[in-house]
């Protein structure tokens, strides 16, 4: 048996592929465009593993997707591929529309054609799992209850609007064509292999480089943090037992203001790798202009996945953030490589023939 993963060289996708192949013998076809956020080095441990088939390409390339589906006959497609950074979506929304909406549409079309052509037993077992975000629900006021699966969609950024549109397309392909879909909406992830443009890895990397730690606005915006490996286990759980056409919210009940996150990272670094001058890394915090349209609070009500499918996160925020800071301290070469322009040249050369 085989699964097709899209975006499997990104942060969550590569963690998912690594965890999947550590726990199962099922082959993974990994389709990733290798944008700035995709990194084949994330998958270096699989370099000689024949169960992992990496293909550089776009989910919007109908011919390529059709050929992969025909060649590998996957029993499931898991769609992680996306443009994922809110700040980039504010500076340039087009790529977000192109990949998250148009790309997902083309992927759905090819999967629908493939699914329509397989035998009844394979059709019944097939799943299309769409990985989405809690940001589609918009922003909560401080006393509002956490997002349930029936919360109204109110996306506020070009990123969240494009993800919301993709969720609607996935839903429509189930209701209109009967495609066996599952959708997951997860809160903010953190952990190993996280590209240092997002809050937690940026703070870890900047702190060590002696650079400012930029906190947007008053730093009191709240996110609900989940260790990436727990997100991966939730996706495996939904793939295995989720009811067709359903949405599952994924979160670890870990609401924290941004400033608390930054303080925690600084305190862990003070303990694990103290500054030479004896000062705390907190002294590097710099308040900067707020993000336009900045959502104030996200929070996930995870009762559906917990009660229906028995999923629970393995990490608390305290254990997960310690592991994360330690991982970055242990992998300075990974950080240096993702930050270097040479990385992109290497990819262009490496994949020039394929």
The catalytic site residues sit at 134-135, 159
CB 266 within 8 Å of CB 213: yes
Q: How far from the centroid of its chain's Cα atoms is residue 81's Cα?
A: 8
Sign of CA dihedral 94, 193, 313, 27: positive
| 198 touching ligand TYD, by CB under 6 A | yes
Beta bridge partners of 53: 29
Answer with the entry of ligand TYD, ligand NAD, none that 165 interacts with (C-beta below 5 to 8 A by kind): none
SS3 call for 90: helix
In terms of CB distance, is 97 or 259 closer to ligand NAD?
97
Shortest gap between Cβ of 332 and ligand TYD (angstroms)?
21
17 binds ligand TYD (CB under 6 A): no
| 221 in contact with ligand NAD (CB under 6 A) | no
Interaction between residue 33 and ligand NAD (CB under 6 A): yes
In the numeric block, which tokens belong to residue 86? 């809110």
Distance CA 41, CA 37 (A): 11
52 vs 163, which CB is nearer to ligand NAD? 163
Q: Does residue number 196 form part of the binding site for ligand NAD (CB under 6 A)?
A: no
Say how far apart CA 312 and CA 309 lie, in whole Å: 9
Applying CB under 6 A, the span of 7-15, 204-212, 251-259, 283-291 interacting with ligand NAD comes to 7-15
Q: How far is the CB of 282 from ligand NAD (least distance, A)?
A: 24
With H, G, I as helix, E, B as strand and everything else as coil, classify residue 5. strand
Strands 76-79 and 52-56: unpaired
Binding characters for ligand TYD, 208-227, by CB under 6 A (x = yes): ------xxx----x-x----
Helix count and strand count (H, E) for the chain = 14, 13
Using CB under 6 A, count the residues that bind ligand TYD. Answer: 12
Pick from 10, 196, 201, 320 the residue near ligand NAD by CB under 6 A.
Answer: 10
Which tokens go with 285? 């915090």
Give which of ligand NAD, ligand TYD, none residue 82 binds (C-beta under 5 to 8 Å, depending on kind).
ligand NAD
Contacts of 94 (CB under 8 A, 6+ apart): none
CA 267/CA 52 separation, integer angstroms: 38
Q: Please choose, out of 57-65, 214-222, 266-274, 337-345, the segment that lies near ligand NAD by the rule CB under 6 A.
A: 57-65
Segment near ligand NAD (CB under 6 A), from 56-64, 204-212, 259-267, 303-311? 56-64
3-state SS class at 152: coil
Q: Which does 191 bind (CB under 5 to 8 A by kind): ligand NAD, ligand TYD, none?
A: none
- Closest contact distance (angstroms) between CB of 273 and ligand NAD is 25
Helices 258-272 and 199-209: angle between axes, nearest 10 degrees: 40
- Residue 262 · residue 213 · CB < 8 Å: yes
Residue 97: DSSP 8-state: I
CB 235 → ligand NAD: shortest distance, Å? Answer: 9
Question: Residue 133 and residue 251: Cα distance in Å, rounded?
Answer: 10
The distance of closest approach from Cβ of residue 353 to ligand NAD in the complex, given in angstroms and rounded to an integer, is: 19
**Pick from ligand NAD, ligand TYD, none: which does 214 bind, CB < 5 to 8 A by kind?**
ligand TYD
Residues that bind ligand NAD (CB under 6 A): 6-7, 9-13, 31-35, 37-38, 58-60, 80-84, 99, 103, 131-133, 163, 186, 188-189, 195
């Amino acid at each position: 048996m085989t699964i097709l993963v899209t975006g499997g060289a990104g942060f969550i996708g590569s963690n998912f592929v690594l965890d999947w192949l550590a726990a199962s013998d099922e082959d993974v076809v990994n389709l990733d465009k290798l944008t700035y956020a995709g990194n084949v080095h994330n998958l270096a441990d699989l370099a000689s593993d024949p169960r992992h088939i990496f293909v550089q390409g776009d989910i919007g390339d109908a011919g390529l997707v059709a050929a992969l589906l025909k060649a590998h006959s996957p029993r499931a497609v898991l769609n992680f591929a996306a443009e994922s950074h809110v700040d980039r979506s504010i500076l340039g929304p087009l790529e977000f529309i192109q990949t998250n909406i148009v790309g997902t549409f083309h992927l759905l079309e090819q999967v629908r054609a493939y699914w329509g052509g397989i035998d009844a037993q394979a059709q019944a077992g097939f799943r299309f799992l769409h990985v989405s975000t809690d940001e589609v629900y918009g922003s909560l006021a401080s006393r509002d209850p956490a997002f349930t699966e029936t919360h109204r969609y109110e996306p506020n950024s070009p990123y969240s609007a494009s993800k919301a549109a993709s969720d609607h397309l996935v839903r429509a392909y189930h209701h209109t064509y009967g495609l066996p879909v599952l959708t997951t909406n997860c809160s903010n992830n953190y952990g190993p292999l996280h590209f240092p443009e997002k809050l937690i890895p940026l703070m870890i990397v900047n702190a060590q480089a002696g650079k400012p730690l930029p906190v947007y606005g008053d730093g009191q915006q709240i996110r609900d943090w989940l260790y990436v490996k727990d997100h991966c286990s939730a996706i495996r759980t939904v793939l295995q037992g989720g009811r067709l056409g359903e949405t599952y919210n994924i979160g670890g009940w870990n609401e924290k203001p941004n400033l608390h996150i930054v303080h925690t990272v600084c305190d862990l670094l003070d303990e694990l790798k103290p500054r030479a001058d004896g000062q705390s890394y907190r002294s590097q915090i710099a308040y900067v202009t707020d993000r336009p349209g900045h959502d104030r609070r996200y929070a996930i009500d995870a009762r559906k996945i917990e009660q229906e499918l028995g999923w629970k996160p393995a990490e608390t925020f305290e254990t997960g953030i310690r592991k994360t800071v330690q991982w970055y301290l242990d992998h300075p070469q990974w950080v240096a490589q993702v930050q270097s322009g040479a990385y992109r040249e290497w990819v262009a050369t490496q994949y020039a023939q394929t």
